[in-house]
Amino acid sequence: MENDTFELTYQELSPACEAILFASGDPIPQERIAEILNVDVKTVEEVMSKLVSAYENNPWGGLLVRKVENSYVMSTKPGMKKVLERMFSPKMHPPLSQASYETLAVIAYNQPVTRAQVESVRGVSSDSIISRLIDRGWIEECGNLDAPGRPALFKTSKQFLMEFGISSVDELPSMELMSYQTIRDLEDSLAKAAGNDDRQITIEGIMESSEDNEQEEADDGEHN
C-alpha cells in the first residue's frame, strides 16, 4: 500500500499476529498478514515461527498456532479432542468407513484426480464416498480435466491438512499407496510425518463397525 505509515515495533508484531489469527478463525495467508502489519513476508515467517514454538511448548494451553501451506491458523490441540466431542455432542459427522479412508488415500496420493481415476484404483464406484468426503470438508473440486466431458478434478483441502496434522501434501509419507496393508498404516504414517502421535483423526470404532462398512459397500455396489 503506497504511503502507508502504519508501523509496529518488533515486540508488538507477535501479539498482533496472535490477534489476527484469533479474529480470523480460518487459515489466513502469510501475504495477507504481512499486508495488514505493513511488513515483509520474511518478518511474518520469523514472528510466526516463534509463535508456533511458544504455543506448542506451553503445557498449560489448549491451543496451537499452525502453518498450513502458506497460511497460518489458530487451532485446538489434538489432546482436546475428547473435550470438544463432549461440547459438540451429538457429533455433527458420523464416523467414516475404511472404504472412505481408502478413497481419501487414493485422492491424497494422486491429486488432482477425477472420479474415474479414483474408481480405476479402487475397482468399484466411489460416487457416494466422494460426496461424503466433500461434505466432511476433506476434499474439494479444483477444476476440470482437459478431456472429453471435462470431468471434475478433486484434491485434498486445507481442512484435510489441519485435521491430519500436516502443513502440506509434501509431508505425506513417500510410500506407494498399495504398500499400505491397512488404513491404520496410513494413519500411523501421517502421524509420524506430522511428528505427533496424539492424533486428532482416528478410526477407532470404524474398524469395529463392520455392519456400517458392509452397508456402505452395498450402497456403492448399487451405483455400479
| pLDDT tens by residue, 134-144 | 988 899 999 88
Last residue of a domain, one of 47, 77, 107: 77
Q: Do 127 and 40 share a domain, yes or no? A: no
88 within a domain of the structure (yes/no): no
Strands 139-144 and 152-156: antiparallel
Q: Do 61 and 121 share a domain, yes or no? A: no
Residue 1: pLDDT band (50, 70, 90) is low
202, three cell numbers: 482416528
Please state, in angstroms and as integers, the Cα–Cα distance from residue 13 to each residue in 71, 73, 122, following that order: 17, 16, 49
- What lies within 8 Å, CB to CB, of 183 at 6+ separation is 98, 101, 102, 105, 203, 207
Q: What's the pLDDT at 201?
A: 39
Which comes out higher in pLDDT, residue 45 or 208?
A: 45
Q: What's the pLDDT at 188?
A: 60
Instruction: Evaluate if pTM is beyond 0.75.
Output: no
Q: Are 105 and 177 in contact (CB under 8 A)?
A: yes
Q: What is the residue range of 20's domain?
A: 10-77
Cα(126)–Cα(133) distance, integer angstroms? 11
Which comes out higher in pLDDT, residue 24 or 178?
A: 24
pLDDT digits (tens, 9 = 90+) for 145-203: 888 888 899 999 988 888 777 888 888 776 544 444 444 555 565 555 555 544 443 33
Neighbours of 139 (CB within 10 A): 25
Total number of domains constituting the chain: 2
90 within a domain of the structure (yes/no): no
Domain of residue 120, CATH code = 1.10.10.10
Cα(64)–Cα(131) distance, integer angstroms? 30
